[in-house]
A = this chain, B = another copy of it.
Amino acid sequence: MGSTFGRLFRVTTWGESHGGGVGVVIDGCPPLLAIDEREIQAELDRRRPGASRLASQRKERDRVRIFSGVFEGKTLGTPILLFVANEDARPEDYEAMRDLYRPSHADFTYEAKYGIRDWQGGGRASARETVGRVAAGVLARKLLAKECEAEIVAYVRSIHTLEASIDPERVRIADVEKSPVRCPDPKASRKMVDLVRKAKKEGDSLGGVVECLARKVPAGLGEPVFDKLEADLAKAFLSIPATKGFEIGSGFEGTRLKGSEHNDPFTMREGRIRTATNRSGGIQGGISNGETIVARIAFKPTATIAKMQETVSRDGKITRIRPRGRHDPCVLPRAVPVVEAMATLVLADHLLRQKAIRGR
Contacts and interface: CB of A to CB of B under 8 A. Distances in A.
A165 interface: no
Given A226-B236, A245-B247, 9 more contacts: A14-B78, A21-B81, A32-B114, A112-B220, A160-B255, A199-B259, A226-B239, A245-B251, A259-B304
Interface stretch (A1-9, A43-51, A167-175): A1-9
Interface stretch (A98-106, A177-185, A186-194): A98-106
- Which size bracket describes the interface of A in this complex? 35 or more
B105 A311 contact: no
B288 A109 contact: yes
A65 interface: yes
A252 B245 contact: yes
A310 B267 contact: yes
Contacts of A360: 359-360
The CB with the most chain B CB atoms within 10 A, among A7, A80, A259, A261, is that of A259
A284 B105 contact: yes
A149 to B, nearest CB: 16
Given A123-B76, A286-B106, A310-B267, A258 B204 contact: yes
Contacts of A251: 244-245, 298
Nearest to A241: B285
A311 B265 contact: yes
A201 to B, nearest CB: 13
8 contacts: A7-B7, A14-B69, A16-B76, A77-B357, A227-B239, A230-B243, A244-B250, A257-B300
A127 B178 CA distance: 45
A305 interface: yes
